[in-house]
Amino acid sequence: MPPRIPCRAHRAACPTPTAAVRCRTRLQQTRFASTSASAPEIYDVVCVGGGPAGLSLLAGLKASPTTCGLKVALIEGQDIQKNRLPKDASVVGFSNRCSSLTPASVRNLQEIGAWRHANASRIQPYQEMQVWDGVSDARISFDWDTARSLGPRKPTQPTTIAYMIENVNTVSALLGRLEELGGVDMFASTKVDAIELGTDTEQLDLSSWPVLSLSNGKSLAARLLVGADGANSPVRTFAGIASRGFDYSRHGVVATLDLSTAGWGGPDHKIAYQRFLPSGPIAMLPMPGNFATLVWSTTPERAATLKSLAPNDFAAMVNAGFRLSPADLEYLHTLPSGQAEEVAWREKHTPTNERGLPVRVTDVQAGSVASFPLRMRHADTYTGERVALVGDAAHTIHPLAGQGLNQGQGDAAALVRTISHAVQTGQDIGSTLALESYNEARYAENNAMLGVCDKLHRLYSVESGPIVGLRSLGLRAVDAMGPLKGFFMNRAAGGV
Amino acid sequence: MAAPLKRPASSWICAPSKVLTHSVRLPCSYRCFSVLNRPQPSYEGHIPLTRTERLGLALGSGLISFLDPRRGDLIAAFGEATAQPYFINHLRNRMLLNPTGRRILRDRPRLTSTSLNIPRLRLLPKNTVGHVYTEWLDREGVSPDTRAQVRYIDDEECAYVMQRYRECHDFYHALVGLPVFREGEVALKAFEFANTGLPMTGLAVFSALTLKKGEWRRFWDIYGPWAARNGAQCDDVINVYWEEELETDVDELRSRLGIEKPPDLRELRRAAREARKKEKAAREAAAGAAV
């Protein structure tokens, strides 16, 4: 086993880790010298991927007094500045990639000081959620009023279920915070050409360290390499960690919708809606003003049909998705056009309670209709020797509970705690021993959430038969039992 | 203590509305459905029933129509009482999935002797659907105007589906060439059950138990298997727009739907009767010879 390079506790005043490495290697003068063209630059933490999870991790590290002395680098393949929200962004055009941030994620962003950098006028908290079965119409409503345990609601209890935010707004907020904190070497528009283990040279032994060769010719050695590089993570491949799972053979169709009004609860009481159709759930989530974002999980064929529709037909299909029977929807997807007229006729013969449904979609923002394949993936472990995985690199989840981005935020926060603890106790932050607590804190929790979402998807894919009756009975029972509903809401909110 | 007493009575009756939040709260006029408080009919001639009433209607009409199958009104009531809540919706969904079925639901055509113009149909070439239909009407001595109005189906569109099924019933007879008396009716009902899934048609097959021995044998050997096979395999007959098929060749329509024509029941009965007569005559002759 190669000698481990010790890492002292890094306080703001302590010598930089690179200095620590040098002083240690001077003692190894007797080692056989080998020539190396250019020694890699040594970093404590190298994060590959500048998405919400990776940026949250770096902001967390830099915001904590314990870990702010670490030398960190960020490598992102795309131009970070180009993907930022413009400062004067008007509150009209919303991106179609939005996420629902749980109160736990928001609290974490507040703690690391990023939340105040977000564009608040483009964030929409919502206070109620209506979920129902597209086959039986069994319904459950989530709001903290009906989910109270016993007695009246305390004024201190939260009323917000979650916050709808564009992913670009989250990323911009985190970048704003990182700029404020400083001290992160950003390699934007830079690709990682290769990751391999370093060599054992005269000066220092990097044989257990991942060394990254970048497209700009630089080479970085990482005490801890963090993979925040998405579902097809090169870091995970380098670490030899298998990611298991399957494809749902479903696509998520996203779009930004124009609504006829701000919603049944007005601008101060926004409501999210989700209807479970046998092909997958359709969800409409509120955005500021008369806007909403759509996430419609459906078969790839139907997703292709939806994407090919004219705006008025697409809007009619979304209205139909919340109102018409699965049989009607099945037929509507076979038409090449003319859905608006067909839906208008069918709505006359489909009795609905409009108060329980989202307000009508009047239009869809041009160019906002897109789709992505839905997958379920889970890495065997989140940590390896000098490697940790966060966010989508570690797990990919069905979007039906809106948990994907929140899991990544939870990972980042947990990894910050783990690194912080390792620094405080003088451990090598890249050692498997130090990283163990990160895997322990997140794996089981993420696995449970992945499992629940997967089972819900399966349960609601059933179109008819006794399962429909049983699941409807169960849904109504949970709806009637306030404390039990409160428990589920707590879990979905990230255990507030 | 006084405060709760001031609440409107509806909030006591409809306890579930308390757990609904203000966004989905039901209107104050909402009352639970009971004999004392019948909701408005949702279409002309509609009679809303409570569950108990529906059960009573199903049992009563089922029993009497089993004992006396000529009570068409009770068979109709039995069909309506047992078709809800699942089966009629299922049949409507099958119509909604088919372009022609959707067109029927949109146009809502009604089949009557005036809308069909029976004298014109008689003039159509032989072997067209219209001609075969009138031939069948004349042979069986029935009229398309004898169909009762649907009253007990709650959804107005499902009520139309029931009405349509009922009015098309004679066309099914003509299509497969089965007569109206008990034996032919049972065979057609078995076919319809396999095709439409309406419980009344399935339960009507039980009246096969009241058939005579020879009829039962024919049902068991020929018509029952034919009905099960064809009903399950062929396209939904509810999705045939009969008004547009009147001039189609009936064999072509049958092959398009995937239906084989069963052996002519009247012919079989005549043959059986003659065989019996011959046998009887032979027996009498033998008896006479013996004496």
Cβ–Cβ contact B156 with A under 8 A: yes
Ranking A135-149, A341-355, A389-403 by mean pLDDT, the lowest is A135-149
**Residues from chain A contacting residue B107 (CB–CB below 8 Å):** none
Share of chain A above pLDDT 70, in %: 89
User: Using one digit for the tens of pLDDT, what is the confidence trace for A53-105?
Assistant: 999 999 999 999 999 999 999 999 998 888 788 776 666 688 899 999 999 99
**Contacts with B92 from chain A: Cβ below 8 Å:** 327
Which chain A residues touch B106 with a CB distance below 8 Å? Answer: 345
> Which residue of B21, B92, B105 is in closest CB contact with A128?
B21
Q: Which of B21, B96, B157 sits opposite A331 (nearest CB)?
A: B96
Chain A residue with minimum CA distance to B154: A351
Average pLDDT in chain A: 87
**For range B227-255, the mean pLDDT:** 90
Split at pLDDT 50, 70, 90, the class of B116 is: confident
pLDDT at residue B40, rounded to an integer:
84
Task: Pick B20's closest partner by Cβ from A141, A271, A328.
Answer: A141
Alpha carbon separation from A463 to A168, A275, A485 (Å, rounded): 37, 14, 25
Contact A265 B23 (CB under 8 A): yes
Q: What is the reported pLDDT for B86?
A: 85
- Over residues A348-358, mean pLDDT: 90
Say which of B19, B93, B102 has its CB closest to residue A146. Answer: B19
Mean pLDDT within B274-288: 89
Mean pLDDT score, A482-495: 82
Quote ipTM for the complex.
0.77
Say whether B96 and A271 touch across the interface (CB within 8 A): no
- Residues of chain A in contact with residue B19, where contact means CB-CB under 8 angstroms, are 146, 479-480
CB contact (8 A) between residue A480 and residue B19:
yes
Q: Once rounded to an integer, what is the mean pLDDT over residues A373-396?
A: 95
Q: Tokens 């004219």 — which residue?
A: A310
Domains of chain A: 17-85+168-242+380-453 (3.50.50.60), 123-165+246-373+458-492 (3.30.9.10)
Nearest CA in chain A to B94: A327
Whether B96 and chain A come into contact, CB under 8 Å, resolves to yes
Encoding tokens for residue A21? Answer: 């490495």
Q: Is the pLDDT of residue A29 over 60?
A: no
Q: Mean pLDDT over residues A15-33, rounded?
A: 41
pLDDT given for residue A297 in this prediction: 96
Contacts of A146 (CB under 8 A, 6+ apart): A482, A485, B19, B21
- Asked if B23's CB is within 8 angstroms of A271's CB, the reply is yes
pLDDT digits (tens, 9 = 90+) for B18-36: 444 444 444 445 567 777 7
A301 has pLDDT over 90: yes
Binary contact (A331, B102; C-beta < 8 A): yes
Tokens of A190: 């830079």
Mutation site, B22, B23, B87, interface A, largest A CB count within 10 A:
B23
Mean pLDDT to the nearest integer, B166-182: 83
pLDDT, mean of residues B56-69: 87
CA A269 – CA A263 distance, rounded (Å): 8
Judging contacts by C-beta atoms under 8 Å, the chain B residues touching residue A331 are 96-97, 102
B90 annotated as ligand-binding: no
Gap from B194 CA to chain A (nearest CA, Å): 18
Chain B residue with Cα closest to A142? B21
Per-residue model confidence as pLDDT tens digits over A125-134 = 999 999 999 9
Among the listed ranges A164-173, A307-316, B142-151, which one has the minimum average pLDDT value? B142-151
CA nearest A136 in B: which residue? B86
Q: What is the pLDDT of residue B214?
A: 83
HSE toward the beta carbon, residue A420, CA cutoff 13 A: 17
Q: Does B53 lie at the interface with A, CB-CB under 8 angstroms?
A: no
pLDDT at A193: 93
